[in-house]
Chains A and B, each alone.
Chain A
Amino acid sequence: MLRKLIFLLLVCACTVGSMHARNDKEKLNRKTLSGHVVDASSGESLIGASVMIQELGMGTVSNSYGFYSLAVAPGTYTLVCSYIGYEDLVQQLVLKEDQRLEIGLTPESEELKEIQVFGERKDQNITRVEMGVERLQTKTIKSIPALMGEVDLIKAIQLLPGVHSTAEGGSGFSVRGGSPDQNLILLDEATVYNASHLMGFFSVFNNDAVKDLKLYKGDVPAQYGGRLSSLLDVRMKDGNSKTFAGAGGIGTISSRLTLEGPLKEDQTTVLLSGRRTYLDLFLPLSSDEDVKNSRLYFYDASLKLSHRFNENNRLYVSSYLGRDIMKSNFFRMGFGNKTLTTRWNHIFSNKLFMNLTAVWSRYDYELGTDEEDPESWLWESDLEDLGIKVDFGYYITPRHSLKFGLQSFHHAFNPGMAMGIGEQSIFGEYQVGENYALEHAGYLSHQHHIGEKLVLKYGLRLSLFQNIGEGTVYEYGENYEPVDSTSYASGEVYQNYWGMEPRFGVNYLLAPDWSLKFNYNRSRQTIQQASNTAAGSPLDIWFPASPNVKPQLADQFALGVFHNLQQNRYQLSMEAYYKDMKNTVDFADHADLLLNKYLEGELRVGNSKAYGLELLMKKTEGRLTGWLGYTLSRAERTIPGINDGNSYAAPFDKTHDFSSVLNYELSQRVSLSANWVYSTGQPVTLPVQRYEINGTIVPHYSERNGARYDDYHRLDLSLTLQNRKNNSRAWKGEWVFSIYNAYNRKNTWALNFVQDTENPTQTYAEKTYLFPIIPAVTYNFKF
């Protein structure tokens, strides 16, 4: 298999080589303009900024590190660089030789906004070949009213069409009908396995430390793989390379502080960011002993170091540490993610950009009791990744660009270990058994502009998954009971799964403000989560493909029409998708997913499909900004052994899903935000009969997910009040007043069928709802 990969890469290399040869003549004449696009005030690199040569009507887009490269014939040109939220930069340029140009863009100032002249190239949604991709700026995320005032990027993406939350107030999200574990969440290239804090109500990302986020609902670049539904690519800020600066906030439940600045100007930059909740700091005031000694909080911290050796070499080190702690007199629990990414950007030539990434990430939890009882116990689980990737961007001409690379990951799974602790404990040690896997991939992707109107993007990802020892594999009988087991020695490869993942996209410009896009995407998933609940919990474990579990496969087709109105002030899009999935995992009735050696015996595997239509209208500039999104969709599974083998609605199927997110600037200092969401209630299985056994009434069900909760809707509001401008002071403050669930809708979180204790022949339905109207105040500052 490795040989095949190497062969593929050789083929790639040859293709590149021959392209070189063919274009030699033309190429001799071309000169390359390259460099980075940065924020002029902070030095922060800008991702996805458009760099255009007006005369040629050609351009490129800066990559994830702000790098761009354009190879064109020598000449005198007008260079236009634009980025949302920044003033356009228009510059005359005489290109005779290969040239480095660092482009600094100035953030749009409030005063200018009123008389904004719209830049020409804010139509990336039309011109780019990618589709099903949403980018949100941290500024936008900040303006969205948030639960308890905690700005949360995952809650923000849940408001996009095709994306919805998996449970009320939760930070799990489903993309185009997929499960939450089908989303690849990357923070500076490191996988975040559990993106939630506090039982899912807050996400792990601290908005102050985030630079950029991009959600791919399909059309995942060939560079990434391993998940069927989506990629959420979150990039941390590099930090201000010009001056020391800070930002922070004091909120209703947490406070945060971010400090950034140059250790050596324009060379070494550091950013440090932290957040901690403090509701529990009031617990000691309680008169109740148990409450007094309880703890319930989370914190997270991010560190980023960037160093520029010279114009061709940059190094980035980023690290994230987050943890939730719960403690009481008799019980304790902790869980969290840790990541460490080291990246080296190297520019080989003006056209060839390389990024080498070494990444480590870990998710773990432990819970237990105190040590003195016969029932004292401790339970631990963790998952650790170690990987290396090398990615190349080869900007041959503005019409041709290549991306290629190799990656290799090592995964170590410890699904769970529980044991008695202390002298008296009756419990022994129960070890589910660690297991290990390797995941390798190579990819090549070519973006090709043909004529003025057509852009093609095609690529191939080859992936290889290997189970390696030391590990034990159980063999299961007809009734999924373990019948035999095989143990493998350390390092022994006992299962290989490899596959090709073609990725294809085309964009046809019907008119300057109209485009038609089509996309096909195959993806494979070899690591999934054992979770059959609606909201998910921090205890849910991840498990790999194995001799018993085949990789999940998805083929996604999408077609979209994109149209911009009024000089790109309004962006409209309509996308239809169809996803066909194989080896979809669901679980047996009453499956035992935790601390179970025979977890694989609880799996039920079948097929699933999802299809839908997404409409989006977005306004990105002016006093009123925001979007309206609507999705009509269906997701269903057909799995032998579940629902008598009949198709049933996938757990995250929602027929209608509407969201409106609006922000209106009342004045330079005051802005008002509102979002309203409406969706079909989530599918639920309801009882049809009941039966009684010695006084206990047991429900009896018919169809899986045959009914639905009530429709879900909610309005959130917020008002942001900025302090009076004082230019002599660096300190800028603002107050944010927010109301979650403004009209106090009692949205169903859980539905229980209960036997009345007073009158045991009576049964009734009882719904649980979580959040009433929740007002919150946050003070944010910057200096």
Chain B
Amino acid sequence: MNAKYLISMLMLLLACTERVDFELDEAGEPLLVVFGEITSDTLAHEVSLSKSAPYFSNQEVEMVSDAQLSLNDGVQTIQLTEDPMRPGIYQTPANYFGVVGRQYRLDISNVDVNSDGEWETYRAETVMKPTAPVYGAAVVYNVSWEGWEVGVFSKDNPATEDYYLFKVYQNGVLATDSLHNYRAVDDRFFNGNELQGAFVQYFDEEKGEYVAKGDTITLEMAGITKAYYEFLVGVDRETGTKVPLFSGPPANVKGNISNGALGFFAVMEVERASTIFTGATISD
């Protein structure tokens, strides 16, 4: 229900914007930033470690190397190894996969983010939620909005409060490669319902995204925890345009890493379905 965004757009038609210089308060010490998603797929899953920076630093992000990461899923504990080609990226063994219902614990040690000469340790805990079955996907071009809408065919579990994350691949390449194009939903408004082609992902022509006739579009639906959903919504609010009518005060996005670190460590079950864009169009 993105009525707010529609009204905001109307408001922004009236408004003008310009870049301004702003003095910001002292940034303070850098913080550890953790991000990782482990899925039910069997592959080398990645966790990245980096540092936060002053807001207007405008430099490449600084990665954190040589940390020790261990992951416990209640059955076994595995060590993640840093990719020698990509500093700060730590990988599970290639045969690793998540299992629905298991509790996961990520421990990070051997890091000194604030360079005070003392080692710090961090921990993240989460659980793997099931997703809903994906029966199929659909893609159409919406003439009115100038973009491709990707729809899902699925059925929500009426007995549970569910949160879903949708990602999309174009010809096998992940198109939703960053948090700002993730789509996360809760089942508040469709609890227990069939989703028959509900629009859950989008290729925006205005942003230079393009789907050609014959392209294979793969939709991925993941079951995520409420905490991860709230993290994604928080990121969306903090990185989206703020409008005084609807936007509350800015606030820090709440992650699940201990000891003041930022970011999130998530585990999720995924299901996928693919479709081929036939050139079908709609308008509204």
Contacts and interface: CB of A to CB of B under 8 A. Distances in A.
A704 B249 contact: yes
B95 to A, nearest CB: 24
Interface stretch (B15-23, B79-87, B116-124, B127-135): B15-23
A277 to B, nearest CB: 14
Given A426-B198, A706-B25, A765 B19 contact: yes
Contact of A590 (B31, B59, B207, B230): B230
A752 B238 CA distance: 9
Contacts of A651: 249
Interface in A482-514: none
A752 B52 CA distance: 19
Interface string A749-765: 11111010100011111
Interface in B74-97: none
Contacts, number: 236
Interface stretch (B98-106, B217-225, B240-248, B267-275): B240-248
Interface string B223-254: 00000001001110111011111111111111
Contacts of A693: 33, 35, 178-179, 235, 263-264
Interface string B32-74: 0101000000000000101111111111110000000000000
B235 A768 contact: no
Interface in A368-400: 370, 372-375, 377, 379
A374 B198 contact: yes
B244 to A, nearest CB: 4
B14 A770 contact: yes
A772 B197 contact: no
Given A591-B248, A766-B17, A379 B50 contact: no
A91 B15 CA distance: 59
A136 interface: no
A762 B58 contact: yes
Contact of A763 (B55, B195, B241): B55
B59 to A, nearest CB: 6
Given A695-B178, A750-B244, A772 B16 contact: yes
A761 B20 contact: no
B53 A755 contact: no
A367 interface: yes
Given A702-B28, A762-B58, A769-B16, A379 B252 contact: no
Give the most central of A533, A587, A697, A698: most B CB within 10 Å.
A698
Given A428-B193, A691-B262, A772-B16, A700 B56 contact: no
A593 B246 CA distance: 10
B3 A379 contact: yes
Contacts of B169: none
B212 interface: no
A347 B266 CA distance: 73
B277 interface: no
A167 B192 contact: no
A372 B24 CA distance: 49
B213 to A, nearest CB: 23
A374 B31 contact: no
B12 to A, nearest CB: 7
B159 interface: no
B35 to A, nearest CB: 5
Contact of A765 (B11, B22, B53): B22
A598 to B, nearest CB: 11
Nearest to B245: A537
Contacts of B262: 691, 698, 700
A170 B246 CA distance: 14
Contacts of A154: none
B103 to A, nearest CB: 19
B53 A689 contact: yes
B210 interface: no
Contacts of A690: 52-55, 57
B15 A333 contact: no
A769 B54 CA distance: 26
Contacts of B20: 751, 765-767
Give the most central of A418, A696, A705: most B CB within 10 Å.
A696
B151 interface: yes
Contact of A427 (B30, B180, B190, B238): B190
A interface bracket (residues with beta carbon within 8 Å of B): 35 or more
A119 B11 CA distance: 50
B153 to A, nearest CB: 10
A114 interface: no
A467 B247 CA distance: 30
A330 B55 contact: no
Contact of A752 (B31, B178, B191, B242): B242
B221 to A, nearest CB: 14
Contact of B180 (A375, A696, A702): A696
B173 to A, nearest CB: 15
A93 interface: no
B17 A768 contact: yes
Contact of A700 (B4, B195, B243, B252): B252
Nearest to B241: A752
A688 B239 contact: no
Given A426-B194, A699-B238, A706-B25, A694 B3 contact: no
Given A587-B248, A701-B251, A767-B20, A750 B242 contact: yes
A692 B238 CA distance: 13
B22 A199 contact: no
A428 B189 contact: yes
Nearest to A702: B25
Interface in A403-431: 418, 420, 424, 426-428, 430
Nearest to A697: B239
Contacts of A46: none
Contacts of B247: 533, 750
Given A533-B244, A696-B178, A698-B239, A764 B25 contact: no
A333 B7 CA distance: 10
A375 B198 contact: yes
A698 B253 contact: yes
Interface in A581-597: 587, 589-591, 593, 595
A532 interface: yes
Given A428-B189, A589-B252, A688 B28 contact: yes
A326 B207 CA distance: 28
Nearest to B149: A375
A330 B189 CA distance: 19
B211 to A, nearest CB: 20
A421 B253 CA distance: 34
Given A199-B7, A691-B262, A746 B58 contact: no
Contact of A698 (B1, B26, B188, B235): B235
A455 to B, nearest CB: 43
A686 B25 contact: yes
A687 B61 CA distance: 17
Given A428-B193, A746-B18, A762-B58, A167 B244 contact: yes
B219 to A, nearest CB: 15
Contacts of B248: 532-533, 587, 590-591, 593
Contacts of A696: 178-180, 235, 239
20 contacts: A330-B144, A374-B197, A375-B199, A539-B4, A590-B254, A687-B24, A688-B55, A689-B53, A690-B54, A693-B35, A694-B178, A695-B179, A697-B239, A699-B238, A702-B25, A750-B242, A764-B56, A765-B22, A767-B20, A770-B16
Ranked 7 nearest A-B pairs via Cβ: A589-B251, A695-B178, A535-B244, A532-B248, A696-B179, A534-B244, A691-B52
Given A426-B193, A691-B263, A767-B18, 14 more contacts: A170-B244, A199-B245, A326-B7, A330-B144, A533-B245, A537-B4, A537-B245, A590-B253, A651-B249, A688-B55, A689-B30, A690-B53, A702-B28, A704-B249
Interface of A: 167, 170, 199-200, 290, 296, 326, 329-331, 333, 367, 370, 372-375, 377, 379, 418, 420, 424, 426-428, 430, 532-537, 539, 587, 589-591, 593, 595, 651, 685-707, 746, 749-753, 755, 757, 761-770, 772
